[in-house]
Amino acid sequence: MELLTGQIRDYAWGSRTVIAQLQGRPVPAPGPEAELWLGAHPGAPSTVQRDGTSVSVAELIGQDPAGWLGEPTAERFGGRLPYLMKILAAETPLSLQAHPDAAQARQRYAAERAGSATAGGYNYADPHHKPELLVAVTDFDALCGFRDPQRSAEVLAALRIDGLEPVVKALRTGPDGLCEAMQRLLTWPADRRADLVAAAVAAVADLAPRFAADGDLLRGLARHYPADPGVLVALLLNKVTLAPGEAVWMPAGNLHAYLHGAGVEIMAASDNVLRGGLTPKHVDVAELLRVLRFEVLTDPVVRPQSVAAGVITWPAPVAEFTLHRVVLDDEVPQVTVAVSGPRVVLCLAGGVAVDDGLAAVAVSPGRAAVGPALPAPLTISGAGEAFVASVNVDFA
């Protein structure tokens, strides 16, 4: 194992305190720090030190993919690290978005490159899917998956906005009406969007108490996006507040948005994002509707499963990644974590030593370590909290 230096992304929605405080830097940071990327993604590859020089992990993997990834992983994923781990710190809401499945990503990426880009550019940055798992490390607010359309119809009807009547009618037909409801909201005439959001916000004061949470969500989003129909789309989704240790799982076609909080996220290494609103970035409604899965997600929260004393995980049905959390204290000062393929270990609290059988390294909060695929499990010792990312080679 060796120390890994991640790259901070300064997206406008990021926190100026979370990552800086975690790493022991002055708070507030000079600007927003939204994500700390830990991996080999070409957009911002992490680095290690070699002879006093920072060297990209992506470059090292490219020079010896079988040695770094292990032959099975290198062959299956084309010689690239298939996952990206992040610390995500959202101060303000992110966009409503969804990701394609693997077949859609391959087909649409090839079709776009064979044709021409849309006015907003290509929708597909690569031919890969992007399933995601986010584990809260603070209380974390998110929108995740469609809720019962009847409940959504009730709150939209309670706003008493005449123009929303076709949307309400579609939702009252159940899940089959979700696509029409989405299409009507996302294609609302541009010159009438601000009026729609303003009317909805004005109507919140007259909502029944049972719609209080919906009203709070609507008003909060409207403060950031006063002319975006995504503010109304949010009322079609499950609003969840995760406690630390709880997670949300975003498979292909799941409409979601992170609202506020800090978490550790792991995903397949892809940039394929189709946005539907709550963003100044490119929105392609037709393409978003093409990939969405219009089904109700009854319970979007994923609870951890115990693996051993001090070790938990959140099983995800993908080959690209697995994620474990390790908590060490006087009662459990050392654990072994059996993971396959290349490993990235992120320390969140205290201090841990990580040993892969070849070399050990001490990791402090907000820092990480990386190591190649080896048959031996990781040994992690100390007093603190760490997240371990690797590949899920057992997933067919």
> Predicted confidence band at 166 (pLDDT cuts at 50, 70, 90)?
very high
Distances from the Cα of 368 to the Cαs of 62, 85, 355, 365, 387, in angstroms?
A: 21, 10, 13, 8, 9
Structure tokens at 65: 């993919």
Burial of 189 (0-12, 13-18, 19+ CB in 10 A): exposed
pLDDT at residue 372, as a whole number = 97
Task: Please state, for a pLDDT cut of 70, what percent of the chain lies above it.
Answer: 98
- For residue 315, whether the previous peptide bond is cis, meaning omega lies within 30 degrees of 0, is no
Residues belonging to the active site: 275
pLDDT at residue 373, as a whole number = 96
Average pLDDT, the chain: 96
Among 327, 344, 337, CA closest to 383: 327
Q: Return d(Cα 334, Cα 322) in angstroms, integer.
A: 20
Q: List the domain boundaries for the chain.
A: 305-391
305-391, CATH topology level:
Jelly Rolls (2.60.120)
Check if the beta carbon of residue 326 is closer than 8 Å to that of residue 373. Answer: no
Torsion, Cα 303 388 33 246, to 10 degrees, reads 10
> What confidence tens digit (pLDDT) does each residue in 184-217 have?
999 999 999 999 999 999 999 999 999 999 999 9
